[in-house]
């Protein structure tokens, strides 16, 4: 084996061990295996290599130094190869050119790609070091990378799939230099210069021809704000090719007398509508509340009260004529009480109470309403018993 008469992985040297030993490592311990490689001291003279288990036993026996060994499972990540033996095999078969290829996911390659050490440490702290074999999704690592870079790295926007925006209200010679921050809402990062002209470019995914409630960016006939620009723009026309692809967007820069407020959130600006629009929205909201309460009180409340007295009478064992008399006697009074309580309670609930407290508020009012209905339902019986 030492002189190289055997090829790689063909033979191994086992140590004579005791099968009765309680340690499974002592049952069939491999000491040497063939590995034709270059060593620091022996060069190419040695064609054998000590196994890890045998070296560990020798070090423990000689006690040259106190050996401390930590055993833990590999923190495997999906869609990646982390095993050194498998990476070496890929390199030998020319699938990868270098072992420090930035496409790999070892520590050295991640650092070459610009992944900060804080990311790797945070990733390992979250998932821990265990002895079990487990696999973590690669999106978790990418999430840590994005989160760390979001805190320490400056932000420079770029567009992959762009759409041309033409501002027809500006002249072709218009040029304005603007100052943009490297990171929004963080003054510790410096700023850089940008230009504002009649031609802009936006990401294709940021534009929709048909607007929706979950879309906060550019759409046809919709006002949006631009980062670093104290104006609103509105898309008025979409020009397309014969195949339906968008050539450019014709937008109009709104006048400076438009009252608006822009708030930065994340990587985009959410633009609040003008005051006149906000007033219109408030009126529309009030009309919707009144409509909802009216439908509830006109269509559902009378039926629900009649059903209450009918079901209660049936459960008490009353006959049909008794239930009918009970409805004639108690239904009007309960309906008047309903209209004195519920419309105003619902208007307050939908108009003033925050959304998270609307259900508790309605439940609290229902407690008193149920007490009132029970009192109306049993008032006649109590009077008859007292007579």
| Helix ranges, the chain (H) | 52-62, 84-92, 107-112, 117-127, 138-152, 275-295, 301-315, 320-351, 355-386
pLDDT for 282:
63
pLDDT for 41:
66
pLDDT for 57:
60
pLDDT digits (tens, 9 = 90+) for 224-246: 888 878 778 899 999 999 898 89
pLDDT digits (tens, 9 = 90+) for 160-174: 888 999 998 888 888
Which structure tokens are listed for 371? Answer: 């007490």
Q: Which residues make beta-bridge pairs with 201?
A: 164
Mean pLDDT of 100-108: 78
* Residue 178 clears pLDDT 70, i.e. is over it: yes
Asked if 271 and 225 count as a contact pair (C-beta separation under 8 A), the reply is yes
Angstrom distances, CA of residue 299 to CA of 43, 293, 303, 304: 95, 10, 7, 9
- Distance CA(267)–CA(71), nearest Å, equals 43
Instruction: Give exposure, 136-151, as e/b (b: 16+ Cβ within 10 Å).
Output: eeeeebeebbeebbee
* Residue 145 clears pLDDT 70, i.e. is over it: yes
N-term to C-term CA, the chain: 116
Mean pLDDT of 249-266: 56
* Most confident stretch, 15-24, 360-369, 377-386: 360-369
Lowest mean pLDDT, pick from 256-270, 293-307, 368-382? 256-270
Q: Largest Cα–Cα distance of the chain, in whole Å?
A: 120
- Distance CA(182)–CA(188), nearest Å, equals 9
Nearest CA-CA partner of 233 in 256, 214, 212, 215 = 256
Mean pLDDT of 10-17: 74
Mean pLDDT of 59-87: 67
Residue 377 pLDDT grade (very low, low, confident, very high; cuts 50, 70, 90): confident
pLDDT for 70:
58
* Residue 275 clears pLDDT 60, i.e. is over it: no
pLDDT for 258:
43
Mean pLDDT of 81-109: 81
pLDDT for 190:
82
Residue 96 pLDDT grade (very low, low, confident, very high; cuts 50, 70, 90): confident
pLDDT for 263:
35
Residue 66 pLDDT grade (very low, low, confident, very high; cuts 50, 70, 90): low
Within 13 Å of residue 81, how many CA atoms lie on the same side as its CB?
16
pLDDT for 180:
84
Q: What's the chain's average pLDDT?
A: 77
Lowest mean pLDDT, pick from 56-60, 115-119, 224-228, 256-260? 256-260
Lowest mean pLDDT, pick from 38-47, 181-190, 269-278, 351-360? 269-278
pLDDT for 371:
87
Asked if 195 and 176 count as a contact pair (C-beta separation under 8 A), the reply is yes
Residue 68 pLDDT grade (very low, low, confident, very high; cuts 50, 70, 90): low
* Residue 35 clears pLDDT 90, i.e. is over it: no
Q: Which residues make beta-bridge pairs with 218?
A: 207
Nearest CA-CA partner of 223 in 173, 143, 278, 160 = 278
DSSP-assigned letters across all residues of 124-187:
HHHH---SS-EEE-HHHHHHHHHHHHHHHS------SSEEEEEETTS-TT-EEEEEEESSTT-T
pLDDT for 268:
38
- Residue 42 CA, chain-centre distance (Å), reads 56
pLDDT for 237:
92
pLDDT for 165:
92
**Which is more confident, 253 or 71?**
253
Residue 305 pLDDT grade (very low, low, confident, very high; cuts 50, 70, 90): confident
Asked if 324 and 315 count as a contact pair (C-beta separation under 8 A), the reply is no
Within 13 Å of residue 42, how many CA atoms lie on the same side as its CB?
12
């Amino acid at each position: 084996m030492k002189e190289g008469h055997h090829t790689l992985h063909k033979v191994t040297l086992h140590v004579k061990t005791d099968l009765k030993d309680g340690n499974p490592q002592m049952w069939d311990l491999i000491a040497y295996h063939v590995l034709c490689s270059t060593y620091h001291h022996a060069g190419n003279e040695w064609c054998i290599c000590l196994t890890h288990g045998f070296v560990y036993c020798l070090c423990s026996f000689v006690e040259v130094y106190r050996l401390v060994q930590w055993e833990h499972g590999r923190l495997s990540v999906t869609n990646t190869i982390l095993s050194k033996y498998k990476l070496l095999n890929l390199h030998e078969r020319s699938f990868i050119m270098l072992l420090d290829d930035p496409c790999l996911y070892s520590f050295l390659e991640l650092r070459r790609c610009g992944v900060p050490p804080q990311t790797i440490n945070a990733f390992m702290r979250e998932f821990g070091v265990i002895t079990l074999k487990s696999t973590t999704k690669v999106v978790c690592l990418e999430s840590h990378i994005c989160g760390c870079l979001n805190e320490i790295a400056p932000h420079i926007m770029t567009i992959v799939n762009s759409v041309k925006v033409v501002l027809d209200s500006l002249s072709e010679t218009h040029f304005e230099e603007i100052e943009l921050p490297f990171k929004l809402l963080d003054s510790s990062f410096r700023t850089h210069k940008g230009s504002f002209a009649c031609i802009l470019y936006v990401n294709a995914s940021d534009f929709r021809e048909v607007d929706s409630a979950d879309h906060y960016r550019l759409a046809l006939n919709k006002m949006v704000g631009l980062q670093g620009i104290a104006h609103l723009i509105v898309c008025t026309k979409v020009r397309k090719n014969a195949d339906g692809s968008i050539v450019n967007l014709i937008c109009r820069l709104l006048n400076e007398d438009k009252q608006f407020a822009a708030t930065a959130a994340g990587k985009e600006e959410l633009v609040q509508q003008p005051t006149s629009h906000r007033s219109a929205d408030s009126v529309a909201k009030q009309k919707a509340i009144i409509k909802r309460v009216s439908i509830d009180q006109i269509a559902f409340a009378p039926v629900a009260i009649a059903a209450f007295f009918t079901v209660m009478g049936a459960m008490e064992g009353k006959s049909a004529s008794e239930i009918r008399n009970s409805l004639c006697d108690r239904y009007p009074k309960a309906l008047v009480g309903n209209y004195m309580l519920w419309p105003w309670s619902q208007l307050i609930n939908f108009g003033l109470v925050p959304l998270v407290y609307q259900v508790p508020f309605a439940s609290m009012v229902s407690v008193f309403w149920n007490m009132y209905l029970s009192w109306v339902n049993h008032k006649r019986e109590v009077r008859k018993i007292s007579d």
